[in-house]
Structures are given as structure tokens and as C-alpha cells.
Structure 1
Amino acid sequence: MEDSSHEASTFWTQADALLRKNLTYQKRNFSANLRLVLFPVVLCLLLVLLQSILDTQLNKSSKKCGCECVDINGDGSCEKVCGLEFSTTDQARTCSIPSPPAWPPLLQIPAPQYRAVRSSFDPSADLPDESCRTTGTCPVTVLVTGSNQTLGEILAQSMFASTGIPNPSNLTDVITNSVLGSSTEPQQDNFLDPAFAEAPPLYNAQLQCSSNSAFTVSVPDPDSKTQTPHVFQREAQCVTTKNLWRNGSAAINDELFKGYRKGNLERKINEILGAYDFLDSDATKYNVSIWYNATYKDTDSGGNFKLMRLPRAVNLVSNAYLQFRQGSGTKMLLEFVKEMPKFKNDTKLEITSLLGTLFFTWVILQLFPVVLTSLVYEKQQKLRIMMKMHGLGDGPYWLISYAYFFTISALYMIVFVLFGSIVGLKFFTMNDYLIQFVFYFFYINLQISLAFLCAIFFSNIKTATVVGYIFVFGTGLLGGFLFQSFVEDTKFPEGGIIAMELYPGFALYRGLYEFGQYSFMGSTMGTDGMRWKNLSDGRNGMTGVLVIIAIEWLLVLFVAYYLDIVVATGSGKSPLYFFEKFRKKRPSSFRRPSFKRQESRVFVDMDKPDVVQEREKVEQIILEPNVTHAIVSDNIRKVYPGRDGNPEKVAVKGLSLAVPRGECLGMLGPNGAGKTSFISMMIGLTQPSSGTAYIEGMDIRTNMDWIYTSMGVCPQHDLLWETLTGREHLLFYGRLKNLKGAELEQAVEESLKSVNLFNGGVADKQAGKYSGGMKRRLSVAISLIGDPKVVYMDEPSTGLDPASRSNLWNVVKRAKEGRAIILTTHSMEEAEYLCDRLGIFVNGSLQCIGNPKELKARYGGSYVFTMTTSGSNEQEVVNLVRLLSPNAERTYHMAGTQKFEMPKDEVRIADVFHAVELAKSRFPVYAWGLSDTTLEDVFIKVANSAQQFHTLT
């Protein structure tokens, strides 16, 4: 029986190896993980600080119901009394008001300096002259239009009294027989009207004013706690009204716009009292549109609440039409306006409920780029494929990686909710924790699955980072300034909301928005936060959100896994992978290909019998029932499609090779010859365009998962984790190759010793601190641990000093026993020392193959003669060589140095020595030499010959 170390590791063995590696890796990155998990704590502390500052401002006496010390019983004792009568307009909102005061209805009358006059930007002839502003006698203007001018002018004239002073002691008489107004800005409510509370003058609008038309209005305060009721007394100054007819609503609209005060901009302002469009009104029909003064509408000074002044404007025109129909004695009285009673309430603003939706969306989405960049980093650095090539299956990788990201995300959310609750943020404390758990559980799983899916489409970590954070901040801003407005718009179709929630970021925003709304209502109105019973509420969108993110999680997870397996990893799996998986068994030997073998072969010139013989050997091996060669490449071909108008590139042209166990095959060739493309197909990075290869009897097109269990790879560039030590790297890859316990420890120790990484604490030094040569030695050790049957080494000695290179060569030479090795190199010395056979590749095809001695004998039937002289004697050197060898070829010529190849059958070494001695007596010879053909000469000769043939064809 085979040793257990030679058997493929199980799913749980691979998972255990990856888990141990990840735990070690994350232990080294503990500080970064801690900062990530504690990020919500910083945010919560910031929100608590903001809430504290806000509460301090709101708890100031200017924001609370006003109080005074009052002698209630008349005995001289003072008692603190709070109420509306002691409050400013800002304080009145927090007072208990069981009986709101009845305020006389007022018009919004422009202040004297802003009333409409004739000016350069409004030159209407019927407007008063601008000089009235100096004397303070400007009238207030009312614009009138409609289809019936006569009726319109009659109604406008009837709205205001001609002259007269009402009985000031009778408030009802004042309200009935006068049209009161104020230039003050109304508040959001009408508990304490600024027109009475702030002691401004009132205006009594009349058609004409007499010299003694002013009077005093006394309004009792019904909420007064004293024996003598508090009375608001204000002087009513007469102001003349001027009714002006305009031809159509467009003219009115233009004039109103010219007189509109934009914010606090000081310029010539022509404010209009109001305007009436009687439309198609007549003696039997009453139809009117009313324009009202909306100055300051776009500021925060209260202009948004000018509707408080609108009831009197409506009452005036209604009374005028009623009197037109029924006579002057008929009136529709409007005695007062008032608010509904209210309980005392302190001004509260729970900042997390208002701002939490946007900020918490950013906080939770912050995890997305973290997961995404981590996955793309492994992809960009080729660490994922490196683990896969050493036996790590897709299932264990997904299980451990997903579990790790879920653990980090769960800790992140637990700290977030727990700390937010500890510091008393209503967003967390008022809503049911089980609902929060379900929501956050579903969403972080969806977010992790989405990161896995997106990672498939990125190969650069910088691009992934930028896109990830654009997703984070873009989602928050779009949610806060677009999506939320749709949610709050009762007329927006529910189907549209659900469609937008299919975007995961908006689903998160909607869930947090619901939490925020329920916590806000709970903190301001004393109700409970969100409970399970609230999910049945038709206006609560949490149920739909939970369903959407749960379904999307499972769907995105499946799609991400499927695409990762079939598309991203290049493992040779077909789109029907999941169906094939249930019937796939590990092959034990070659099988005759199920597809029709390619009849069209790449024809090889008959002057390359070694290449023809290698192809015939491959065809014979494939027909054998047993595995006799570890590596068999059967007419494998790779064609890259043309891009940007360029033709397609044939990288490998029908290559056939067979490498038995115990042999090291060296691949030589110039850059671009196709060596890397061939290796990439053999290790599963790319798929062949046609043909195939067999590793230990398994087809690379369908059985790469099994091939990886018996394969080792030393890539051209070191693929290492910077924070893991050399020992930890070997422990991880050893576990993937099913090494355990003492066997694993022994294998790691021997590997470290073999590449001189054991002594001096180097084995326990982080790989990021290794020199380039140490990293190469570690990469070689990784490729050989676990006794792989097939090993690929891409320039393994690059960057090594001579002593380390010699030691590494001995390691590779010993490793050949029982395994097949394919090695690429640019060092002829290395190739000759390590390789049993050499193949020279040029332009994607095999030009020759054989052991070094055979190749030198076949392509090196000549001596290489070199001589260095002065430039003036170069021709004499050429003549000398021609005498020695008529068929000699000059292969090098520069600065007096020339190199010639002379056929061996034309030259005797003694003749060469004799000719050189004679030459020295005729001209100066600085240096000369005669050598047999080297492997480098063979390589250059074969490469040049193939390049010339390729150029001609």
C-alpha cells in the first residue's frame, strides 16, 4: 500500500490546513483587525458627543417653557409659575397648553419700507410714487384679475372697510369691523403669535385712513395663572389698501415675482399684500384663486408657515362675494384662530434616529471593500492559485474564507450594537434586538456573498478599492437624498420601492430607515420601538427587506460560487460542473480520449527526427493501458485571439512531449518562445485551444482537481505571504499534501535544511524580510514538500549567489528520484547540470530534444575560434581562418574581436596552433582561443536557424 502522505488530502484536512494558516496570518494582523472591529465604537462615541452637545443646547432656558416668580394669592409670597404668558415664541412650543389662546386672524402685511411702489424694475403707472416710503404713507397693494372685471373690482372694493374705528373694548367688534394684519413672521404653530408676543405694531387695513384712525387692541391670555389675567395690548395703525386690476394671472405672477424678497437680500423690494384671480366667477358661480405673501419662504425664519396668515385672506373674499349676493348686512364671521391643546413636552432631538440611517449605512457597508480587497489581493498576488496548485480544493477555500469573513463581520456588528446600546443610543435600545439580529445576520451574509461575486471581475486591488468605496459612499448618498424621498412619498408606487430594494445597498438603507423611524417616534412620543407585531403594519417595509436580502443572499452565494469554480479559477471545469461532480471518480490510468483525435498535425521537417520520434512516442504511450510516464503532452496547442486589430497569436504549436518519472526535462528558448504558455496550461492557469496533456494518467481538461494533489510548482515570481515565516509556509503546504504530526514536522525540517533556511533563526523569520535569494529557496522547498509526483520549476535559481545556486542544484538533482520535473531556465550551466533531456523551443514549437551531449554532438560539429587584434588587422585574421577552414563562418565581430565556427573535419588543432604562432610574428595578437561547441552555442544556433526559417515562411 502507498504511504498516507501520497494519498490526496481530504476536504477537512485541507480546511484544517487553511484555517491554521489563516489564524496565524490574522494573528500577525491583529492590530488591523482590532482597528476594524473597533471602528463602530469610535462612531458611537462621536454620536454620543454630538448628542451631548445638542442636549446641552436644547436644555437651555431659552428653549424651555418660560417661568416667572408670581404672587398667586396676593399675599406677597412668590411662587415659580411656568406657562405660555411667560414664554417667548421659541419657548411656547414646550409649554403645556390645555386651552390654546384664540388669536385674532391676521393678514401678512408688508412693512412700510417694503410696500410696492413705482420703480425702475416695476414701472406700473398705477403704483404709488416711491416718495411715500420717505413719509411712511405707502398703501398696501392688492392685485385683482378675472374674466369679469366689473365683478372683480366690486368684490375687491367690498373686502376692506371704507373708514371707521371699531370699539376697542369689544374684541369681537374689532375682529368683525376691521382687517388686522402684521409684518412679523409667523411660527410653525399658533400657540403664541409673534404679532402679539413681540410687541410689534398691528395694521388695520382700510380703503381710506383718517387722522385719528389708530386704536389699541387688547387680547386676554386665557392661560394666565394670576388673579389678574395677562393681557396683550397692541396698537393698530391704519394702512390704506389699493386695489389694482391686472389683465390675466401671468401679469400678476410677473409682478409678484418682482416684489419677492429672496432671503435677506437688501434691494428695492415691492411686496404685494396679496392677489385674487376670480377666474370665471359671476353672479351664480364663485371660483377664485388666491396668491398670498410668502416672503422668506426659502429661509429658516418661519416663512414656511405663512399659511397661518391665510384664513383671513380667504374670509375676506368669501365675505365680499356673500355680501354681493345677499346684501351688505350678511357676513361670514371669522372670530379667531387657535391650535389644538397640547401637553408639555421638552424639546428633544435624538440624533441617531435622524442621522443614524445614513451614517450607519456607511458603517455597515464599510465591510464590503474590506472583504473585496482581501479577496482581490489573493487573486492579484496569485496566492489563491498557488494554494490551488498545491492541492487546496475550492470547497475548503470557500468554507474557511467565508467563515473568516463572517466571523469578522459578526464581531463588527456585535460590537456596533452592543456598544451603541451601552452608551444609550435609542436607535439600538428601542428596537427589538431579535429583529436587529435577523436583519444584520442576513445582510452581512449577503454582503460577503456580494464581495465574492464582485471579486471575480477584478484583478487589481487598487481598482477594487476605489470601486468598493464608491459603492459605500454612493449608496449612502443616493439612499439619503433620493431613495428616502421615494419611501416617504405616499404616492410613489410600492412596486417601485421594492424594485429599488433589489439593490442590496437600498435594502440596507430601508431597514435602517425603519429602525430610525421607530426609535425616533419612541423617543419623541413615548411609544415602543419596532416590535414583531409592527412587521404586519402595511407602512413598515422591514418584512419586504428581510425577504429580499434572504433570497438575494442565497442566490448571490450560489452564482458567486458557480462563476468562481467555472470561470475564475481556470481549473478546467465545464458549465455542467455540478452535474458532473456526482459521477466523477479519480482516474487511475490513461483512457483513450472520448473526443475524436485531431487528424491535422503540425508537420515537422524530416531534418528533425528527434521531434518526430518524440511525437510518435507520445502517440504510443496514449494507447498503452497503464501509466508509464508522469507527464504526457498530446499535440497541445494554445492560440490567443487577436485584439485591437492585431491577428491572433499562436503561442504553442501542437507540442507533444513525454516525461517519465525520475527525469528532469529542461525547457530552453528565447523570450516569447511559448514556454510560459505551455507551463500555464499544464498547471491549470489557462485552457488549451486544442489537444490535451495527461499528468499521472489524468486529463488536464477535466481532472485538474486531482492533478493538483500530486503536483508541486515553483513559479517564476515568489508567491508568498509577507507576514508568514518560512516554517509556516511549509507547514501549510505540507498539510495540504496530507502530511501530519511527526511526519509533517520532519518533512518541514528537512526541507528547510536542504535549502539552507534552517539555521540562524531564518526559518522563523517572516518571508517579507527575506532577501530575493532566500525567497527563491523557500519557493523551491514549497514545490518539493509532500513528495509531489510532478514538479514544475520556472527559473528556480534566479537571484541566487553561486554557493546557494550550487546547493539548490543538489537539492533538485536529489529530488528527481521518483518524480518528473519540468524546468525552465536561461542558464546553460544549470540546464546541463540538472537536466536529463533538453528541449529547445522557438516560436511556439519544439525545435530539438535530447540529452546535452547528443545536442552538442548533433549541432556542434565545429570548433569555435576567437581572436582579438587591432582594427587594422581584422582582414588578416579573416584570411588566416580561410586558410585553415574554407567553410568557416564568422559568428561575431566587434571592436577587433572576431569569432568563427570551423567544421571539425576541415581543421586539425595542431595546424591552428602553428598558424597562430605565425600570425603573431606578422601583426599584434592580443588574445585568441579555440574551444569545442558549448550548449550555449547550440542554443544560439538552433534559435537563429528557427527564427530565419520563421521569417522566410
Structure 2
Amino acid sequence: MADTSHGPATFWTQADALLRKNLTYQKRNKRTNIRLISFPFLLCLLLVIIQNLVNSQLDKPENKCGCACIDKNGDGQCEEVCGLQYSDLDQAATCPIEHPPEWIPLLQIPEPDQRAVISSFIPYADLPNESCKKTGSCPVTLLFTGNNQTLGGILAGNVMTSSFIPNSSVDNFTNTILGSDSKTSKQNFLDPAFASGLPLYAVQRQCTQNSTFSVTVDVLGSEIEEEVRCVQGLNLWRNTSAEINDQLYKGYRKGNLERKINEIVAAYDFLNSNPNNFNVSIWYNSTYKNQTGGSDIGLVRVPRSVNLASNAYLQFLKGPGTQMQFDFIKEMPKAGTKTRLDLSSLLGTLFFTWVVIQLFPVVLSALVYEKEQKLRIMMKMHGLGDGPYWMISYAYYFTVSAIYMLCFVIFGSVIGLKFFTLNDYSIQFVFYFIYINLQISLAFLAAAFFSNVRTATVLGYICVFGTGLLGGFLFQFFLQDKSFPRVWIIVFELFPGFSLYRGLYEFSQYSFSGDFMATDGMRWGDLGDSENGMIEVLIIMSVEWVLVLLVAFHIDQGRSPLFYLKRYGKKRSSFRMRSLQRQDSKVFVQMDKPDVLQESEKVEQLLLESNTNYSIICDNLKKVYPGRDGNPPKFAVKGLSLALPRGECFGMLGPNGAGKTSFISMMIGLTKPTAGTAFVQGLDIQSEMNGIYTSMGVCPQHDLLWETLTGREHLLFYGRLKNLKGSSLTQAVEESLKSVNLFHGGVADKQARKYSGGMKRRLSVAISLIGDPKPSTGLDPASRNNLWNVVKRSKQDRAIILTTHSMEEAEVLCDRLGIFVDGNLQCIGNAKELKGRYGGSYVFTMTTSSSHEEDVQNLVKGLTENANKIYHLSGTQKFELPKHEVRIADVFHAVEVAKSRFTVFAWGLADTTLEDVFIKVARGAQAFNVLS
């Protein structure tokens, strides 16, 4: 036998055993791991293939900057000229622009129906009346303020001119204030104001009747006519900049987006300007700034406002004829480039969300598998504590997730996806590190609410695809809508899937703009940008990681999140429970049988002795389940006292619901006793279960095995939990395999899924006996003939508790038997004692034709008047005959006489069986409970 001197397994011994088992289990799942890692690989390859297809289309001649044959000299000879003016304007981003066109600087003019007028929320009487909108004659407003109102008034008057020269080229309008209500362009090689068909506006102090005319404009080599309309400019003074700020924002964009009102051209605060100092702040409308692709680099029409203020001050100093000429604005020249769309940035947010979050159902299904197959309970019963389990399981799933994410990032970087290469790898590391920890914590929490692997897996993958689709087609629109409240964005991000989506969205935006503009992607300094949501995502995920992990751990311990709030209530209810137990125990003691009372007295005597040869001692063990939904408390075990010496196999018999499972659950530490206690090898089950587990073996009713682990690997794992090491572990494993006939023929090294039902049962018995356990609790063998010899050999120097419904098995294996009914031990003793005590009668059976049934009854009455008929069906009758009133010879003589009078098909005389005793005791106890 193995060395029995080993003590309880330490924390690190348990952790080492679980880690070795997990690594072996992982090695068995190579195909699953390959499929898992291949998903991001295939997705990245798909993006690369699509990227190359798109690039090949963009590289076609028809998609490059256009060329044309131009007759420059008029001699009929054309010369090929390439450039922007000969191509589709959509190619402007790729065409070389060596000489960008010159454009007249413009102001951003509000549309006629959006200009500021008097309204209920803008109580300024100097604004025009709202009726001007019906005729389209509303002036445009410019606001002014400053510390010196006299100087401010002069400067405001110098801003606008009164001269107006119609019917001339737009090039002669450098001294006229021109503007447009068209949106600005990202590149200024083509100002939309001169190609949109919308009119230009000339802002004047006063417009004449004939205030609309046409001018000729050269647009990329083509002359077009532009309509210019005069619009009155209204200069209004405000006492403070606060008043200007209030008027600019109050009522702006009130109502729907189509009804934007209260728009101002510009506002000027001349601050402390004086003849020796010029200082001005300018408000301008950036609403129409182009933000295509999420970039804020659109050209706004600010230079003209600056020029107007500067010229106004010069004219104040030097006179009306002095001004800084502002002829044109134009963009810097640029070289031709190739159009490239980084699909990993455009599509990566959705696709990569699926890649990262698919780890959730993988971890969840693994945790639920252990729960569904009751493997977690099995490990706990064999000595694995909660601390080692959580530490190793968490570290194990974190390592798997980290390797998965590392392969994903490395592969994406190797094949050149900008999503990975442009963004700082340290930010990516922090982001993925926090999220996979949060995801693992969520899996532990979710596993508490599932008991079926298929259900958990299906809902897990619904979460995967649902999160990606909702993120791509709902949440992303909220992110891009600048008017959507930021607080609601944060509320959305409280859902971990949307936090993941937001972080990946930020990576994609920075990588896309970085690739387009040939700059870097996200850097740590960018996290301070108010438009960057990465920092808030990292904070939210970090806090949720800690909170979710704590809640998951508490639920795993059988506590609700409100555990600490409920402790006081539980204490109060426990006093009521104890009083009920005391009242109940008085009734039950009165009904105890002499053998049960004798067992209880033996327990009391053993508890007074310091040294005892008894492996298990149960002292008035009780289990009461609290009443629910108005029902009274349920007394599952009503005070059990039992003493089992070494070398004894004790059989616990009883009908379903008798309390056997509750008793076994208390003995193996799954539930706590309500009162009383039990000692296993002198250790208290109330406080020393970790020590008990090292000397206890448990063989559950069903085979709880890992399908991909071999028989030997199962025994190695559970042997380590029993603190076996080195040669002792190897010897114990071999002896256990040999004892159940699983050692030879390579059976020990086959995976458990290839075992037959009988082989699995024998392996379960071997697991329960590994490490030479002193008691083997809850043994319920199913393969009787193959295992009885093993059990008989194993009870040497051990105590075994066996629960079974097989009377034959109990009679063969058990030294003593106890019949348990309605939470009480009704009787105890060996099979012969019980049959003698509760039998006391023969069972006489006779089968005849139906016409002779009365003759059979008369025959039995002739043997004894106290005969009791217990069975009657179609000529077959059974009777109980008291042994002390009947001689066997008389029975044989009576049968011989009966055969001469009528036909007897069959007859028999049998002693009382254990099954008869069981039925009699159970019925008697249940009948008493009904009457009481």
C-alpha cells in the first residue's frame, strides 16, 4: 500500500496539481486551439486579400490622375499634359498640384433663413424683425465689444466699405467683402463657393435696388459666371464679451437640424486696444468646417475676418486709404500620390471586436463544462481548495487569452495591417491586457448562472456577434454624432462589449488618419485629447474588472452580492431554527429503537476517549433547510449518531428523500450541518475539511471524468491532491489501476472517452481509493460483480459508507446496515440481526387455479390462525407465517395433502429477505409519521 504518513496538501501543492492537469488537458485539445487561433489569422488574411484587390483597382490607369492631348501652340500639334484639370475631380487627392489655384478670400455667410433676428430667447431690440425672412432680406450681423466703446465704434465702422463696383471680374473685388454660405473644402484647390452654383454675397453697409450682378470666374481653366448678391451688414455693439457669448449660443440650432437660426457672421472683441496697442479676439462659425474621415483639418474662412479687423485698425491710425491688400489664398503645392484605403482601419473595429470577444464563449463553456459534469465538486471533495482553484484557473485562462491576443497582434503586424503598426504597441498592450482580464472575470460571473454547456455556448456566441453588430450599426453612429450627449456614451461603455468597441474604434481612427496623412497613429500624448475616448475606456474597464471579479468570487462561495447586508437577518433566523431543532429532537428521541439508542450511547462514550480506533463518529448530526414561500423548515437529518470503526463497511439503506444525500453532503463538506458534527480520523467536518479531504475518497453515483484525460492522468491529478509525491505517487497510481484491472493492455493510457461504462466505473472507484484514504464516503458502485472484490479488499484499515438500493449488494459487502427513513435512523445491525429482528416469519407462496384459492386459504389457516396474506393475483397467493407457530415439516405435510385434493401449479416456503425487512421498516416508519 502507499505511504499513509502524508499530511494535508498545501496551497501550492494543490495549485501545482491543478496546473499540471490543465496543461495536460490543453495538450489534448490541439485541434481546438488551432481552430481558435486560426480565426484571427484567417480574418487578417481576408483583409489583406481584399486590400490587395482594392489596391489593384486603384492602380488602374483610369483611376489615376488624368492626362489629355492639348494643342498649346495652335499649330494642330497636341501635347500630352497630365494634371488635375484633365482628370476627375475625385482624383484630386492623388494628382500632383504644382501650381494650386488662387482664390479670393471669403467670409462664411449664414443662409438667409438662418440669420439672427429678434426672438423670444434673444431679447435684443437692435436685431432685425423676423418678418425679413419671408422676403429673404435679412441682413447679416457682426457683433463688437471692447473696453473702449468709442474706439470700438470707430473700428466697427471701418470694417465694412460702402463702395460697390458691379459687372466686373471677381479679381477686382479684393477691396469688397465677399462671402459664401457653401461649406468649406478639405483642400482648397477647388473652393466649393465657385463651383457649387450657390451665389456669392457682397457685404455692404447699405444695398441699392440693383444689387445683384454676375462676374466671371476661372475654375481650373474654365470660365464660369458667378452670381453676386449684395447683403446688408449690421454692426451691433455689446457691452461685454459675455453678452456676445450668450447671443452666439442661445437658440443656435434650436429645433431640428434643418431649422438653424441665430447665426452670426463673426464677433470681435477689441479688448484693451488703443492707439498704441492693437489686441483683438475673433469669434467665427466653424459649423461648416469639413470633418470627412473624422479629421478637423478642413480649411475655414477665418483669414478674411482677421484681415478686416487689421485693416480697420490701420485705417484708424493712418486714414481711410490705408489697408493691407488681401488678394488671394491658395494651398501649398503637392506631389502626386497613390490612393490607398487601409481596410484594417475601416473594417477593423467590427471584425476585431469579433476576434477579441470570441474568447468569452470559449472560457465560459470551459467553466460551465466543469460545473455541468460536476468536476469542480469532484475536485473539491478530493481536497482542492477555492484559493488554488481560482488562482490557477484564472492564470490558466489569462495565459491562453494572452497567447491568443499576442498571436493576433504579431500576425496582424507581420502582414502589415496599419491598425497594429501605426498605433503605439504599449497602448495596445495595456488595452488588451485590461480587457482580457475583464472578459475572464465576466466569464466566471456568467458561469454561475448556467448549468448547461450548449446553452452557455449559444448565448456566448450571440453575445459575440450581437456586440459587434450593435457596435457597428448603432454605437458607432452615436460616437460620430457630435451632438449626442457624452454622458450617454459613457453609459453605453459600461457594457464591456461597447468598451471594447470604443477602444478599437479609437485605434482604427488614428491608424486611418495616420496612414492617410503619413503620420503616426495613437500615442500616449493623444489620450489627453478631449475627442479621444481611450482614457475613459481604460478607467471603466479597470474598475469593472475588479468589481466583477469580486462579485464572481462571492457568488462562487454561495453568497449573493448582498451577502453582508443579509448577515444580520440570517443570524436572527438561525435562533428560530435552533429552537425548532430543540423542540423537534425531544420527539425523535422518544421513538428511537434500542439498537439506535445503543449506537448513540457508544458515540457519547467514544467522544470522551482521546484515542479511538473509529474512523468516523457522527454526533447528533442534523440538517434543516429553511422554509420558503410560506412552507415550514425541512428536517432532512434529524439527529444522527453513528460510529464506524476501521475495517467496517457500513451500508445506508433508505427510500428516496430519506435524507441519505443530505447526510453524505455534510460528510464530504458540500453542505454545513445545522447542528451537531462529525469527526473523520479525529478531524471535525465543521472546521477541518481540508485535512479530511487528504484521507477521504469519494466515488459519486455518476462517473465524473474529463473525457480527454487518460485513466493514469486522472489518478496522478487526484493523487497530487492527496499530497502524494515522487515514488509514492507513482506506486499509488499503479496499485489503484491494478486493483480495478485497468493497468494492463495499455488501458491506463487511453482517454476516458474511449472507456466502456464498466471501465469508467472502475476508474471512479480507483480515484476514490487513491492515496490510501481511511474512509471512502458515498461509494455507490454500479458494476457490482467486477467491483465487489475491490471494495472488500479496500475496507482493510478503512471505513466505508455505502449507499445503495441493491439489497443483494448491501448484504454481500456491508458488515452492518442502517435503514434511514424521513431523516431518522430506524434500525442498525448486520443483515442476520435485522432479518431476525424484523423478519420473524416465513413467506409461503402457492399458485393454483382460481377455483381453488379458498382451499389454499383454508390450508394456511390450518397451519396457523395468525397467518397474514400479503399478495394475491390470478391464483397466486403469498402469506406470512409466524416462525414460532409453524414447523417446516407441518408445511410440507399440508402441501402433500393438498396436492391429492386439487392441482398445485407451484409452491414455495422462504425465509424473510433483507428486502422484506427494508420494506417493513420503511412502511412502519412512514405510517407512524403520518399518524403523528
Deviations 1:612-661 (A, max 9, x none): 22223233333444455322222223334455666554332222222222
CA distance in 2: counterparts of 1:372 and 1:464, whole angstroms: 7
Deviations 1:775-808 (A, max 9, x none): 1111111111111111124421x2x3xxxx3341
Equivalence for 1:853: 832
Structure 2 counterparts to residues 29-178 of structure 1, below 5 A: 29-70=29-70, 80-95=80-95, 96=97, 98-100=99-101
| Alignment map for 1:902-941 (pairs within 5 Å) | 902-941=881-920
Q: Which amino acid aligns with 2:653?
A: L
Alpha-carbon distance in structure 2 between the residues aligned to 1:413 and 1:148: 61
TM-score under structure 1 length normalisation: 0.73
User: Does 2:730 match 1:772?
Assistant: no
- SS of residue paired to 2:432: helix
Deviation by residue 1:474-530 (Cα, 9 ceiling, x = unmatched): 433444455545555556676665565454333333332222222122111122122
Higher mean C-alpha deviation, range 35-44 or range 440-449? 440-449
| Contact preservation (8 Å) 2:438, 2:542 | yes
Please state whether the residue corresponding to 1:865 is helix, strand or coil. strand
SS in 2 for 1:718: coil
What are the ranges of 5 or more consecutive residues in structure 1 without an aligned counterpart? Answer: 106-145, 157-165, 204-214, 224-229, 237-256, 261-273, 279-306, 311-334, 569-573, 577-594
- Maintained 8 Å contact 2:621/2:673: yes
1:433 aligns with 2:425: yes
- Paired residues of 1:566 and 1:575 also in contact (CA < 8 A): no
Question: Does the Cα contact within 8 Å between 2:693 and 2:722 map onto a contact in 1?
Answer: no
Q: Cα offset for 1:59?
A: 3.7
SS of 1:928 mapped into structure 2: strand
Give the counterpart of 1:468 among 460, 467, 470. Answer: 460
**Matched position secondary structure for 1:26:** helix
Alignment partner of 1:652: what SS? strand
Q: Indicate whether 1:650 and 2:635 are aligned.
A: yes
Aligned residue among 707, 717, 732 for 2:692 = 707
Assess, with a 3 A threshold, how the Cα gap between structure 1 residues 12 and 4 changes in structure 2: closer, same or farther.
farther
Partner secondary structure for residue 721 of structure 1? coil
Distance in 2 of aligned mates of 1:510 and 1:150: 46
| Counterpart in the other structure of 2:604 | 619
Correspondence for 1:368? 360
The whole-number CA distance in structure 2 between the counterparts of 1:155 and 1:817 is 110
3-state SS, counterpart of residue 418 of structure 1: helix
Aligned counterpart, 2:854: 875
| Larger displacement relative to structure 2 (690-699 or 810-819) | 690-699
Q: Distance in 1 between matches of 2:166 and 2:897?
A: 147
Q: Deviations for 1:419-474, whole angstroms, at most 9, x for unmatched residues?
A: 10111111100112222222222322232233223323333323332443343334
**2:880 aligned counterpart, secondary structure:** strand
Q: State whether residues 368 and 451 of structure 1, in contact with CA within 8 Å, keep that contact through their aligned partners in structure 2.
A: yes
Q: CA deviation at 1:68?
A: 2.1
1:420 lines up with 2:412 in the alignment: yes
SS at match of 1:864: strand
Q: What corresponds to 2:434 in structure 1? A: 442
- Counterpart amino acid of 1:632? I
Identity of aligned residues (%): 66
Change (3 A) 1:952 1:94: same
Partner residue, 1:842: 821
Please give the alpha-carbon distance, in whole angstroms, between the structure 1 residues aligned to 2:432 and 2:132. Answer: 69
Q: Secondary structure at the residue paired with 1:658?
A: strand
Contact 1:38 1:415 in 2 (8 A): no
Tell whether the 8 Å contact from 2:779 to 2:800 is kept in structure 1 after alignment.
Answer: no
Q: Cα deviation per residue 1:674-714 (whole Å; 9 max; x = unaligned)?
A: 21222122112223333332222222232222221111011
Residue 863 of structure 1 contacts residue 930 of structure 1 at CA under 8 Å; is this kept in 2? yes
User: How far is the alpha carbon of 1:565 from its aligned partner?
Assistant: 4.2
Asked whether the 8 Å contact 1:66–1:92 carries over to 2, the reply is no
Kept in 2, the 8 Å contact 1:89–1:187? The answer is no
How many Å separate the matches in 2 of 1:852 and 1:340?
106
Query: Is residue 746 from structure 1 mapped to residue 708 from structure 2 by the alignment?
Result: no
SS in structure 1 of the partner of residue 368 of structure 2: helix
Q: What residue is the counterpart of 1:220 in the other structure? A: 218
Match of 2:706 in 1: 721
Is the aligned partner of 1:785 residue 2:770? Answer: yes
Give the corresponding residue for 1:755.
740
Q: Residue 154 of structure 1: CA displacement?
A: 9.9
CA distance in 2, matches of 1:517, 1:837: 77
Partner of 1:514: 506
> 2-side partners of 1:829 and 1:170: how far apart?
116
1:613–1:98: structure 2 CA closer, same or farther, 3 Å change rule?
A: farther
Q: Indicate how the Cα distance of structure 1 residues 698 and 277 shifts in structure 2: closer, same or farther if over 3 A, else same.
A: closer
Measured against aligned partners, the alpha-carbon deviations of 1:210-255 in whole angstroms (never above 9, x if no partner) come to xxxxx9996534x5xxxxxx4346899xxxxxxxxxxxxxxxxxxx
In 1, the alpha carbon distance for the partners of 2:198 and 2:535 equals 56
Distance in 1, Cα, partners of 2:133 & 2:737: 108
Give yes or no for contact 1:887–1:902 (8 Å, CA) kept in 2. yes
Q: Contact (CA 8 Å) 1:371, 1:405: kept in 2 or not?
A: yes
Q: Where does residue 803 of structure 2 map in the other structure?
A: 824
Q: CA offset at residue 169 of structure 1?
A: 9.2
Work out whether residues 89 and 193 of structure 1, in 8 Å CA contact, stay in contact via their aligned partners in 2. Answer: no
The one of 645, 660, 667 aligned to 1:675: 660
The residue number in structure 1 matching 2:16 is: 16
- Contact 1:788 / 1:819 at 8 angstroms: preserved in 2? yes
Give CA deviations for 1:906-934 in whole Å, capped at 9, x if unaligned: 10111100100111111111111111111
Task: Spell out, residue by residue over 1:16-51, the C-alpha distance to the aligned partner (whole angstroms, 9 max, x if none).
Answer: 322222222222211101211222111111221222
Q: How far apart are 1:670 and its partner, in Å?
A: 1.6
Cα 1:175–1:368, aligned 2, differ >3 Å: closer, same or farther? Answer: same
How has the CA–CA distance of structure 1 residues 778 and 575 changed in structure 2, closer, same or farther, with 3 Å as cutoff?
farther
How far has the Cα of 1:871 moved from its partner? 1.8
Query: Is structure 2 residue 356 aligned with structure 1 residue 355?
Result: no
Relative distance call for 1:452 and 1:276 in structure 2 (3 A) is closer
SS of 1:6 mapped into structure 2: coil
1:92/1:518 Cα in 2 relative to 1: closer, same or farther (>3 Å)? closer
Note if 1:231 corresponds to 2:231: no
Relative distance call for 1:48 and 1:919 in structure 2 (3 A) is same
Instruction: State whether residues 103 and 193 of structure 1, in contact with CA within 8 Å, keep that contact through their aligned partners in structure 2.
Output: no
Task: State whether structure 2 residue 698 is matched by structure 1 residue 698.
Answer: no
Counterpart residue number, 1:944: 923
With structure 2 as the length reference, what TM-score do the two structures score? 0.74
What residue identity is the alignment partner of 2:45? L
CA distance in 2, matches of 1:911, 1:789: 51
Aligned partner of 2:785 among 806, 820, 843: 806
Of the structure 1 ranges 621-630 and 397-406, higher mean CA displacement relative to structure 2 is found in 621-630
CA shift, 1:812, in A, is 0.7
CA displacement at 1:849 relative to structure 2: 0.8
Q: Does 1:731 align with 2:716?
A: yes
Q: CA RMSD in A?
A: 4.9
- Secondary structure in 2 aligned to 1:630? strand
**Alignment partners' CA distance in 1, 2:831 and 2:470:** 68
Q: Which residue of 2 aligns with 1:327?
A: none
Cα deviation digits, residues 348-396 of structure 1 (max 9, x gap): 4322223222322221111112111111110111101111211222233
Alignment of 1:159-308 (within 5 A): 219-221=217-219, 223=220, 230-232=221-223
Cα offset for 1:65?
Answer: 3.0
Cα deviation for residue 743 of structure 1 reads 2.8
Describe the SS at the equivalent of 2:89.
coil
Distance 1:336 1:189 in 2: 19
Residues 688, 540 of structure 1: alpha-carbon distance in 2 compared, 3 angstrom cutoff: same
Of residues 683-692 and 720-729 in structure 1, the stretch that sits farther from structure 2 once superposed is 683-692
**Size of the alignment, in residue pairs?**
791
**Once the 2 structures are TM-superposed, how far is the Cα of residue 175 of structure 1 from its aligned partner?**
15
Separation in 2 of the partners of 1:945 and 1:664? 26
| Pair 784,356 (structure 1): closer, same or farther in 2 beyond 3 Å | same
Deviations 1:752-787 (A, max 9, x none): 222222233322222112221221111111111111
CA distance in 2, matches of 1:740, 1:383: 23
* CA 480–672 in structure 1, closer or farther in 2 if over 3 Å, else same: same
